[in-house]
Amino acid sequence: MKLTSALVDRTLSQIPVEAIPDSHPAMNQLSRVFGEHTFFLDDDGLLIVEPAEAAEDGASAGQVVKLASWNEAHTSLSPHDPEPTDILVELGRAELN
């Protein structure tokens, strides 16, 4: 899922990740391999946010999914099957792209 800049900011305020900017040289390759998403990096690897079931109050939520893991030296990422994490991000009522 591609997040708006407001949703990227909201995600960054909730979990310790770094957003990969759309202008980053790796974005074309990431999009070819994984599809159109907003990508994040953390100490574990490459992450995206996918829609999750809305809260009872109607607020949108996103589940963090890991797509690739760092090697031991944190110098390269190894892609793997998507691994849903137990991390949920409150997205509020903002529009999703």
Rg of the chain over all Cα atoms, to the nearest angstrom: 13
Q: Are 84 and 65 in contact (CB under 8 A)?
A: yes
Q: Which residue type is seen at 35? A: G
Say how far apart CA 6 and CA 95 lie, in whole Å: 9
Q: Tens digits of per-residue pLDDT, 17-76?
A: 999 999 999 999 999 999 999 999 999 999 999 999 876 777 789 999 999 999 999 999
The pLDDT tens digits of the residues spanning 3-16 come to 999 999 999 999 99
**Among candidate residues 80, 47, 81, 77, the one with its CA nearest the CA of residue 64:** 47
Which residue blocks in 15-86 are alpha helix, DSSP H?
Answer: 27-34
pTM (2 d.p.)? 0.90
